[in-house]
Structure 1
Amino acid sequence: MASPHFLSDAQLQQLAPQLQHYLSEQLAVDIGNFDARFLLDFIAERVGSEIYNKALQDAQTALAARMESLQAAIWELER
């Protein structure tokens, strides 16, 4: 069974040239579009869930802070 792609074709099409440019400029490594797309998909598969989970944790933290702020504002109005 083939592994699912974590990035859409449109995302891969947009990101592949950026990765190619970065590798060429920073590491003097030239890779083709297919290899760049394959590498991006590999990286997304390996670290995508960790990045997603961290983003969810950050969103929960921000939401909790906002809820605390709203609760404080309500308590202030009740006085």
Structure 2
Amino acid sequence: MSDIKFTPQEKESMIAKLQSYFDKELEQELGQFDAEFLLDFVSKELGAYYYNRGLHDARAVFEERIESIDDGIYAIEKETN
């Protein structure tokens, strides 16, 4: 898996969410540098789990759609007596 690249705006938004979470839930201030470091750590060490779950979920949707298409094809099949 290649590295996932986020736009500066996406990264800024994620950092703000981390800082907000730490402030509201943990009552602890998380500075910009620490938030960036934490985001990089979580992305590197845990990101693959979320990525793989997304692929798993996408595969399930794809297989469901293929099954539906397959059923549709069988439904229009003509008898050959």
2:6 partner letter: S
In the alignment, the residues of structure 2 paired with residue 42 and residue 6 of structure 1 have an alpha-carbon distance, to the nearest angstrom, of 13
Aligned pairs, number = 75
Q: What's the secondary structure of 2:44's corresponding residue? A: helix
Determine what percentage of the aligned residue pairs are the same residue: 32
Structure 1: 5+ residue stretches without partners: none
Higher Rg: 2
In the alignment, the residues of structure 1 paired with residue 4 and residue 62 of structure 2 have an alpha-carbon distance, to the nearest angstrom, of 27
Q: TM-score w.r.t. structure 1 length? A: 0.83
Q: What's the secondary structure of 1:62's corresponding residue? A: helix
Q: TM-score w.r.t. structure 2 length? A: 0.81
Q: Which has the higher helix share?
A: 1
Provide the alpha-carbon RMSD of the alignment: 1.7
After TM superposition, which residue ranges in structure 1, 4 or more long, deviate above 2 angstroms? Answer: 5-9
Higher relative contact order (CA 8 A, sep 6+): 1
Q: CA deviation at 1:6?
A: 4.8
After superposition, where does 1:1-79 map in structure 2 within 5 Å? 6-8=4-6, 10=8, 11-79=10-78
Structure 2: 5+ residue stretches without partners: none
